């Protein structure tokens, strides 16, 4: 994309910002005709406010690996309740990467996921709160994420499919409610339908996790309804208010009708 001098100057001002600015945006959302076309399908006629002061997003300006681009969400206003979030990658073949619903125990949202980015694109997050929708995002330079070859031989990938791991971390947050930090990983090739078998060169049919639930005891932490833009072997790292349950239960389904469930004991990994 070619920018006129005035646009470059405006961008430089946005990046540098005035003295005392609280946030430096190195890769803010860019103008997107694609989003203008998508908007109605994603949120209908609903108004969308800026998420500034409510939620921040961190994503690399130039991704190291287009098939596993880290997206980090952090709630900046503890008084706001974020009940859901939609992650959209404008230029992907299936732009809505995932729709998350958050239970009250997620508390002040601190959440990381990994997505595929198929070409230079805005990655935006639309947070749902009691007072409406709030949007933020980043522009990410990446290409080929949806068609990148899977990291494992198909037979090995299917043999491991559905295996889950839980990693717990020491919480550094100083809050009145006990906080925990966890990372879950689910083995699944999450085939996008755009990848080729490296031997036959035929396209591998789409086959991906379409629903996830994470529970602490009988309390729901979050759900995800996902598509082809979630990376292979999905990984989610998140903070939550600990109710004392000794294990987390992860339930998942995929587009081939498979069901996976594991109850994993908590043990701090450090």
- pLDDT of 41 higher than 80: yes
Over the stretch 42-100, which tens digit does the pLDDT of each residue have? Answer: 999 999 999 999 999 999 999 999 999 999 999 999 999 999 999 999 999 999 999 99
Closest CA to 214 of 189, 190, 180, 238: 238
SS3 159: helix
Q: How far is residue 40's CA from residue 239's CA, in Å, rounded to a whole number?
A: 32
Over the stretch 238-269, which tens digit does the pLDDT of each residue have? Answer: 999 999 999 999 999 999 999 999 999 998 66
- Is residue 206 within 8 Å of residue 43, measured between CB atoms? no
Q: How many angstroms separate the Cα of 18 from the Cα of each of 10, 15, 23, 24, 28?
A: 12, 9, 10, 10, 16
Structural domains of the chain, with CATH: 24-265 (2.60.40.2470)
The mean of the pLDDT values for the chain is 89
DSSP 120: S
Kind of pairing between the strands at 164-169 and 132-140: unpaired
Q: Among the listed ranges 3-7, 78-82, 118-122, 198-202, which one has the minimum average pLDDT value?
A: 3-7
């Amino acid at each position: 994309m070619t920018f006129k001098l005035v646009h470059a100057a405006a961008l430089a001002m946005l990046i540098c910002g005035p003295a005392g600015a609280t946030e430096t945006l190195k890769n803010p959302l860019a103008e997107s005709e694609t989003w203008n076309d998508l908007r109605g399908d994603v949120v209908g006629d609903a108004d969308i406010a800026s998420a500034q002061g409510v939620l921040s997003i961190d994503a690399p300006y130039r991704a190291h690996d287009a098939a596993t681009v880290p997206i980090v969400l952090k709630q900046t206003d503890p008084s706001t309740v974020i009940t859901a979030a939609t992650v959209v990658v404008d230029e992907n073949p299936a732009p809505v990467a995932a729709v998350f619903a958050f239970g009250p125990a997620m508390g002040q949202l601190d959440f990381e996921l990994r997505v595929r980015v198929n070409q230079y694109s805005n990655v935006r997050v639309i947070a749902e709160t009691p007072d409406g929708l709030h949007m933020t995002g980043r522009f990410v330079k990446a290409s080929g994420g949806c068609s990148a070859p899977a990291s494992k031989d198909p037979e090995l990938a299917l043999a491991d499919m559905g295996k889950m791991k839980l990693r717990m971390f020491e919480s550094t947050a100083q809050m009145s409610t006990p906080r925990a930090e966890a990372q879950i990983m689910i083995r699944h090739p999450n085939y996008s339908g755009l990848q080729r078998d490296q031997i036959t060169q035929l396209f591998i049919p789409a086959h991906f996790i379409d629903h996830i639930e994470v529970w602490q005891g009988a309390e729901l932490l979050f759900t995800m309804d996902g598509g082809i833009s979630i990376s292979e072997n999905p990984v989610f790292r998140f903070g939550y208010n600990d109710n004392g349950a000794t294990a987390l239960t992860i339930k998942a389904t995929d587009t081939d009708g498979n069901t996976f469930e594991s109850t994993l004991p908590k043990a701090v990994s450090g």
